[in-house]
Chain A
Amino acid sequence: MVTTWANRRRTRIDDLATGRSLGADALVRLRRNPVAIVGAVIIALFILVSIFAPWIAPHDASQAFPELQEGLRPDVIPGAQPGFPLGSDQNGRDFFSRMILASRQTLLVGVFATVIGLIFGVLIGVLAGAFGGWVDTLLMRFTDVLLSIPSLLLAISIAALAARPSQTTVIIAVAIVGVPIFARLLRGSMLAQRDSDHVTAATALGVKRRAIVLRHMVPNAIGPVIVQATLTLATAILDAAALSFLGLGDGDPARAEWGLMLANAQAYLDVRPALAFYPAIAIILVALGFTLLGEALREALDPKGRR
């Protein structure tokens, strides 16, 4: 029997011998990192709940029940009762079903805002990093300006342009906040690639510029951007909640989304604090999950950590 230590040691030597890529190597290290596992478990649960939400939730999120509405008083919101495990919300709807179904909407806001920000950020970053010169100066000046506005103020000024705030305006506002961050990160790490040996070699071999940028520079430069995107998933959900709190969220009362529910529950904090607590805890857990995952990814992708 070999000891665990020897086993681990051997795997490591095997890794080196097989010459695994940084990506595969990172994956291995990610699996050994408890932080990554905790983050991944939280996020996996969150995604599972949102996939199976309609089957888990016993009721419709927007439906009000007479038996719950009967119990509603200015100072009373009914708690748990048969068929309604978490009781009623401020409008006589099943709070449990709303909590479950809200996972979908919250995931939707976070993912869409991040992906849209990512697409535009990467586009700007690639253009700036690939062309350099005045294109670079111009694009970076633009990102400087976006970065000079404190992020929540930027989101507010975009969301406030809409005459009628909706989920779409929240997503757009939060997405734009991420664009300059992604752009700068990608540009920075592409610039570091430009003078590297493998790019020089590709150029000398006569590889087309387009191929150098897309096949040699971008794949090697995208790491920090992916880390940032994971972290942005957390801040996007928090920013969306903040916008809802400021009255720039979706005005549709039927919509069940954790940030919106938390914001709307503030008026009933004296009557039924649970209406704020549950969405808040859900948001904190999800944000924590994405943050842990992002931090672990950052560590795993850091070439300094390779042995």
Chain B
Amino acid sequence: MLRFIVRRLLQVVPTLFVLSVLLFAWLRLLPGGPAAALLGDKATPEKIAELNRVLGLDQPIPLQYLRYLGRSLTGDFGNSLISGDPVISEIGRALPATLELSVAALLLAVVLGIPLGYVAARYRGRPLDTTTVIGTLVGVAVPVFFLGFLLKQWFAVDLGWFPPSGRQSVSIDATKVTGLAVLDGLLTREFDASWDALVHLVLPAIALATIPLAVITRITRASVLDVLGSDFVRTANSKGLAPGTVRSRHVLRNALLPVSTTIGLQTGLLLGGAVLTEKVFVWGGLGTLIADGITRRDYPRLQAIVLLGAAVYVLVNLLVDLSYALIDPRVRLR
């Protein structure tokens, strides 16, 4: 087991290394180089030369890269061009918001998707199954941001059931502990703050959960169907095991293995979807940082968030792989 973990960890290193090289080269792909892009309209040859010196861009490329690598490893990603703050502290402030939204969306997708996929597979070919399959196909075809706007227009603006944007009402004076608003309210026993945050969370979480929900439902359905047709299930049934036992111990357990991989892959979708959802609901997390960063071309900020996003994505999938090995001993042998 330990050898497996070490080997998988070592496989991640080259990926992250090449990623850092690509992101380093990325700024140098900008037309006119980073300095011209950073200065925008105010660019004059003198100012560019000056900024190049300040940024260390007049140094040899390998040296520049080593410096960039060293700074990245210590969490120094430079300053945001919009706020002037260090990018790393901007990310620190925005991270809990995105984390809360993504976890809520993923939870929603898993809690609804697995039972839905399972039930669809059990009643294969019946109306319930057909409806589910059509739903999953339509679900991935709807643009996330349009769905967000629809939810907002119907349930917030027209019906007034939910707040249209933001994470908390202005009137609520919540104490910050972890930055996860719902959890903070529970920890500090400010239950009204917790409830308020939860109500704000509902619509964005639904918008963000749609695509992962559709994918998880489909994979679960396919995987359950696969297992239902396997020999060991037929054996379990014919030796007279209670149907409930066969379902929970034989079918579900084996069917969930591919599903766990899919859940890991969804984190990437969530990060991308968060950019769109957060823009619609003015959420104020990483997605908002990116969306604002795009309009103002805040390259240091974008560079840092892309690196962070990729690192998280790789890490989550590594964890999924490891948990997979934990559940299924066959994986370790490979």
Q: Nearest chain B CB to A251's CB is how many angstroms away?
A: 12
Q: Nearest chain B CB to A272's CB is how many angstroms away?
A: 12
Is B272's CB under 8 angstroms from A152's CB?
yes
Choose from B18, B149, B271 the contact partner of A150 (Cβ within 8 Å). B271
Interface-side segment among B51-59, B290-298, B320-328? B290-298
Is B313's CB under 8 angstroms from A150's CB?
yes
- The answer to the question of B242 belonging to the interface, with a C-beta cut-off of 8 Å to chain A, is no
Is B306's CB under 8 angstroms from A141's CB?
no
Is A295's CB under 8 angstroms from B137's CB?
yes
Is A150's CB under 8 angstroms from B310's CB?
yes
Choose from A151, A241, A248 the contact partner of B294 (Cβ within 8 Å). A248
By beta carbon, the residue of chain B nearest A284 is B141
Alpha-carbon distance between A287 and B305 when the two chains are bound, in angstroms: 29
Given contact pairs A152-B272, A242-B276, A288-B137, A161 touches B30 in the complex (Cβ within 8 A)? yes
- The answer to the question of A291 belonging to the interface, with a C-beta cut-off of 8 Å to chain B, is yes
By beta carbon, the residue of chain A nearest B146 is A280
B-facing residues in A251-305 (Cβ within 8 Å): 259, 262-263, 266, 269-270, 273, 276, 280, 283-285, 287-288, 291-292, 295
Q: Mark B133-146, 1 if CB is under 8 A from A, else 0.
A: 00001101111111
Alpha-carbon distance between A157 and B299 when the two chains are bound, in angstroms: 9
Alpha-carbon distance between A276 and B31 when the two chains are bound, in angstroms: 34
Among A153, A162, A269, the most chain B Cβ lie within 10 Å of the Cβ of A153
Is A153's CB under 8 angstroms from B275's CB?
yes
Is B137's CB under 8 angstroms from A292's CB?
yes
Alpha-carbon distance between A248 and B309 when the two chains are bound, in angstroms: 20
B-facing residues in A104-160 (Cβ within 8 Å): 141-142, 144-145, 148-154, 156-157, 160
- The answer to the question of B29 belonging to the interface, with a C-beta cut-off of 8 Å to chain A, is yes
By beta carbon, the residue of chain B nearest A289 is B141
Is B14's CB under 8 angstroms from A141's CB?
yes
By beta carbon, the residue of chain B nearest A248 is B294
Q: Return chain A residues, CB-CB under 8 Å to B146.
A: 262, 276, 280
Is B22's CB under 8 angstroms from A156's CB?
no
The A interface, classified by DSSP as helix, strand, loop or mixed, is helix
Is A291's CB under 8 angstroms from B26's CB?
no
Choose from B144, B276, B313 the contact partner of A149 (Cβ within 8 Å). B313
Among A160, A234, A295, the most chain B Cβ lie within 10 Å of the Cβ of A160
Q: Return chain A residues, CB-CB under 8 Å to B145.
A: 241-242, 245, 263, 266
Q: Return chain A residues, CB-CB under 8 Å to B37.
A: 163
Alpha-carbon distance between A160 and B302 when the two chains are bound, in angstroms: 9
By beta carbon, the residue of chain B nearest A292 is B137
B-facing residues in A193-232 (Cβ within 8 Å): none
- The answer to the question of A246 belonging to the interface, with a C-beta cut-off of 8 Å to chain B, is yes
Q: Nearest chain B CB to A168's CB is how many angstroms away?
A: 14
Is B15's CB under 8 angstroms from A141's CB?
yes
Q: Mark A83-103, 1 if CB is under 8 A from B, else 0.
A: 000000000000000000000
A-facing residues in B138-162 (Cβ within 8 Å): 138, 140-146, 149, 153, 157
Alpha-carbon distance between A289 and B217 when the two chains are bound, in angstroms: 20
Is A284's CB under 8 angstroms from B138's CB?
yes
Q: Return chain B residues, CB-CB under 8 Å to A163.
A: 31, 37
Q: Return chain B residues, CB-CB under 8 Å to A248.
A: 294
A to B CB contacts below 8 Å, 14 in the list: A141-B14, A144-B15, A145-B15, A145-B19, A148-B314, A150-B268, A150-B269, A156-B275, A242-B272, A262-B143, A276-B146, A284-B141, A291-B140, A295-B137
* Residues of A that sit less than 8 Å from B by CB: 141-142, 144-145, 148-154, 156-157, 160-163, 234, 238, 241-242, 245-248, 259, 262-263, 266, 269-270, 273, 276, 280, 283-285, 287-288, 291-292, 295
